[in-house]
Copies of this chain bind each other. A is one copy, B any other.
Amino acid sequence: MQWKTSISRADEKETLVRGYDLMELVENLTFSQAIFLVLKGELPTNEQARMMDAILVAPIEHGVSVPSAYSSRVSISTGQPLNAAIAAGILSIGEYHGGAIEQAARLYQENSGKGGKQIIEEYAKAGKRVPGYGHKIYKESDPRAQTLFKIAREVKIFGNYCKLALDIEKEFKKTGKPLPLNIDGAIAALISEMGFDWRLGKAFFIIPRVVSMTAHAHEEVTKEKPFRRFEESEIVYEGPAKRELPKEYRKK
């Protein structure tokens, strides 16, 4: 099997990452700068590096109540190693949890010529939800999206993708049933501004969530008894009543 790659070249003498000596990167870059380099192929400007830090800090921890946090606790409670627990957590990042970044980034990148009104109409016609809008708790405005956009303006990352993202929000407001731009949508617009392909979208949620999963799995394994089992009182059985196995299925 053959592997073609532009990401790195490693031999006995040195490891080059996107052309740079890995040891030079270790000595000089922040983790965010290095993430930008590995994913994009080029070094970030100072402004992009600042934006990357904000984007990666925003999803870092949102409480134990969400699947990606407690799934890693459940896994490690059964005696699994830390990496298996983190993998279990990542398998709870789907369309309804972090997955909207990818779809929203795709929407912005593939519809850059359109306005919010047109996009909302097209999605309504196709019977689909516009990804990146609405939140269970933040009904009017998602403070995390607002903070990220505030920083984007400060560092002059704010551009046409962000404008489109806000235009959609504005149009939703007019409908009387406002759906605020949420953190997924904001991250989607910002990575589009920095030139990241939408197919990378989920990674900007997954990378920081791994930090959260690590902290939760560690807390579980050091503070709790093994084996997270639900209580009978939390279970409602709705299946058939007890029944006999018919005679023709019996061995004797």
- Indicate with 1 or 0, residue by residue over A52-65, a CB within 8 angstroms of chain B CB atoms: 11101110111111
A212 proximal to B (CB < 8 A): yes
Closest 7 CB pairs of A and B: A79-B95, A79-B94, A10-B63, A6-B239, A19-B240, A78-B94, A88-B91
Known: A65-B10, A80-B91. A29 touches B5 (CB 8 A): no
Shortest Cβ gap from A252 to chain B (Å): 9
Residue among A41, A92, A235 with the most chain B CB within 10 A? A92
Binds B, one of A118-126, A168-176, A195-203: A195-203
Number of identical monomers bound together in the oligomeric complex: 4
Q: Which residues of B contact A199 (CB under 8 A)?
A: 82, 218, 221-222
- Indicate with 1 or 0, residue by residue over A173-199, a CB within 8 angstroms of chain B CB atoms: 000000000000000000000000101
Interface size for A (C-beta < 8 A) is 130
Known: A5-B219, A67-B77, A219-B6. A239 touches B19 (CB 8 A): yes
Question: Which of B18, B31, B75 has a CB less than 8 Å from the CB of A240?
Answer: B18
Contact in complex: A75, B71 (CB < 8 Å): yes
Q: Which residues of B contact A71 (CB under 8 A)?
A: 71, 74-75, 88
Beyond A30-B32, A43-B249, A75-B88, 20 extra complex contacts between A and B, CB < 8 Å:
A4-B224, A4-B235, A5-B63, A5-B64, A5-B235, A10-B65, A19-B242, A21-B245, A22-B144, A26-B148, A31-B32, A34-B56, A34-B208, A35-B60, A79-B96, A80-B81, A83-B84, A86-B203, A203-B210, A206-B210
